[in-house]
Structure 1
Amino acid sequence: MSLSKKFRGAAVVVAVAAMALTGCSSSDDETTSAAPTTSGDAAPALETFTEGKLTIATGEPAFSPWVLNDAPESGEGFEAAVAYAVAEELGFAKEDVVWVRTPFESAIAPGPKDWDFNIQQFSITEDRKAAVDFSSPYYTTSQAVLTTEGSKAAGAASIADLTDLTVGVSTGSTSYTTAVAQLGEDHVQVFNTNDDVVAALTAGQIDALVIDLPSAFYLRDAVLDGGKIIGQLPDSTEGGDQYGLLLAKDSPLTAAVTAAVDALTADGTLAALEEQWLNNAENVPVLQ
């Protein structure tokens, strides 16, 4: 670990201490039922599940491009790389990171956790905040154009290439707002659900569909025969779902993990990792 990273990890601890002095919450004096312990010399002010270690959970299995080859310990894939960047920001060396696996639904359920934070594309919602804590966002989804190899849209390389085609979206979604803003309402066909949109694409009723990029990865790899992601649409004013690191409710680590994510956002680390693992590695250009 570089000296600069060590100092930045210490800065996170100082920032959290300052936050505690200015406005402690009622949870500050509570001990989580998972019985976390104080970590080792790398981050002496942080309480972790296992002393001297940072325990990070992800899905079983974990899919590309979030985690390559279902091996988060490699640090390869967007979320694996983000997890290690946060660990370093907190003052933990790579060898002090321990990976565990959890189902998605059990992770968002209330109750004690046997890990420090969990990363597997958890959208930050108010309903979930009643049961768990979230860090600030490490990724905001963009909207992608998905088609199949035999479609008229398969050769599209720009927004202009799509304007004479029929693109499907689900009603009331960010996908609808973005598609109309970029392609025009005349070329957008609206369906009740995303499942209906996918069925229309499979049946050849539409030439392509617009959906958030993570869902596009899943549909391409696990659902569609010959699926192809053409590219991302430029951001709309509506934005997209925000993904956060998930922690136990009132976790003593929430403030420190949030400060680490904020630092990685501010210094451009998260943007660089997104470009490396989601855009360049997957060849998903932003359509112009």
Structure 2
Amino acid sequence: MKLHPRSTVAGGTAIAMLALAACAPVEKPDRAPATPAALASCAPGTLTTLSAGKLTIATDDPAYPPWFADNRPDSGQGFESAIAYAVAEKLGYARDQITWTRVPFNDALTPGPKKFDFDINEFSITADRAQAVDFSTPYYEVTQTVIAVKGSKITSAESLADLKQAKLGAQVDSTSYRAITEIVKPETAPAVFKDNDDAKKQLQNGSVDGIVVDLPTAFYMTSAELDGGVLVGQLPQPAGTPEQFGLVLPKGSALTSCLSQAVDVLRADGVLESIQRQWLGGVAGAPRLG
């Protein structure tokens, strides 16, 4: 998945509203959880990072809710900012040992050297991407969701069949786009957008009937960004492993194992679930399109 909300937060109100409801789906590890003792070999003094004793974390610019707050990744506010700091803390890095940098989504996934130790930016783990970069174990399980605006012909859709004649769209090179082509399979070729600013404009001017985004983004966009936004429903998971977000690292990074161990310990300790409840609480209860 990847389709960022592209507008400024009106304070923290919308995020706070999301945090009041039930918990988002909890990710399922694909291996036995690491133990805190296993992290003993992952202390800052033993890790090879871009800057000795420092951890450089990347995300996109702008960075939007509910993943980040006020376009300030260093605030610790928002789901992915909180996850990043929890991982860093588990590895033994204090806040003054963390540096944030900005990297466009697609640039982070290209082969070659990186200007970060890891990037957190709603990166879905896929086999194709794993040929160019490393992923940590997953920290969040994703559901793709169709949204529209009042007046669209799909606002009352209850099934995939109801979307077959719809004009849908999603961000280029995203798993949201793949969900349209592989799960919905509409009769009309989907539209491709460079980012959510473009997607929202085209949705509101009627160029498309709906767009596909991940579920937390769908809740935020329909409640805080779109005039007359409607959450149509969640799409089924693709066959096989559910879609999951992972931290991205350079291919062959010496940090991959340690970051995965940190994520596994956070999962086992219930920290990932707690962070989800705080920042993605409002994503439960959306209708499912069968």
TM-score (norm. length: structure 1): 0.65
Task: Give the counterpart letter for 1:123 in structure 2.
Answer: S
Partner secondary structure for residue 66 of structure 1 = coil
> Does 1:285 find its partner at 2:282?
no
95 and 127 in structure 1: CA distance in 2 versus 1, 3 angstrom threshold: same
Which residue of structure 2 aligns with residue 255 of structure 1? Answer: 257
The structure with the greater share of residues assigned to helix is 1
1:82-124 CA distance string (max 9 Å, x none): 1011111111122322111112222222222222111111222
Partner secondary structure for residue 144 of structure 1 = strand
Partner secondary structure for residue 133 of structure 1 = strand
Whole-angstrom CA distance in 2 between matches of 1:192 and 1:223: 26
Whole-angstrom CA distance in 2 between matches of 1:211 and 1:73: 25
User: Do 1:134 and 1:254's aligned partners in 2 also have CA atoms closer than 8 Å?
Assistant: yes
Superposition RMSD on alpha carbons, in Å?
Answer: 4.0
Whole-angstrom CA distance in 1 between matches of 2:65 and 2:129: 25
Task: Give the counterpart letter for 2:91 in structure 1.
Answer: L
* Larger Cα-atom Rg: 1
How many residue pairs were aligned? 239
Which residue of structure 1 aligns with residue 15 of structure 2? Answer: none
Whole-angstrom CA distance in 2 between matches of 1:95 and 1:116: 16
User: Do 2:68 and 2:77's aligned partners in 1 also have CA atoms closer than 8 Å?
Assistant: yes
Q: Structure 1 vs Structure 2: percent identity of aligned residues?
A: 41
Whole-angstrom CA distance in 1 between matches of 2:46 and 2:242: 35
Whole-angstrom CA distance in 2 between matches of 1:200 and 1:105: 23
Task: Give the counterpart letter for 2:126 in structure 1.
Answer: T
Provide structure 2 residue ranges, at least 5 long, that are not aligned to the other structure.
Answer: 1-34, 170-176, 194-198
Task: Give the counterpart letter for 1:44 in structure 2.
Answer: G
Task: Give the counterpart letter for 1:131 in structure 2.
Answer: A
Which residue of structure 2 aligns with residue 269 of structure 1? Answer: 271
Provide structure 1 residue ranges, at least 5 long, that are not aligned to the other structure.
Answer: 1-7, 17-41, 180-187
55 and 233 in structure 1: CA distance in 2 versus 1, 3 angstrom threshold: same
Whole-angstrom CA distance in 1 between matches of 2:190 and 2:217: 13
Bigger CA drift: 129-138 or 239-248?
Answer: 239-248
Whole-angstrom CA distance in 1 between matches of 2:217 and 2:113: 29
TM-score (norm. length: structure 2): 0.64
Which residue of structure 2 aligns with residue 148 of structure 1? Answer: 149
Whole-angstrom CA distance in 2 between matches of 1:113 and 1:176: 31
Write the mapping of 1:169-188 to structure 2, written as runs, cut at 5 A.
174=179
Whole-angstrom CA distance in 1 between matches of 2:203 and 2:60: 30
Which residue of structure 1 aligns with residue 20 of structure 2? Answer: none
Which residue of structure 2 aligns with residue 34 of structure 1? Answer: none
Partner secondary structure for residue 285 of structure 2 = coil
Structure number with higher relative contact order (C-alpha < 8 Å, ≥ 6 residues apart): 2
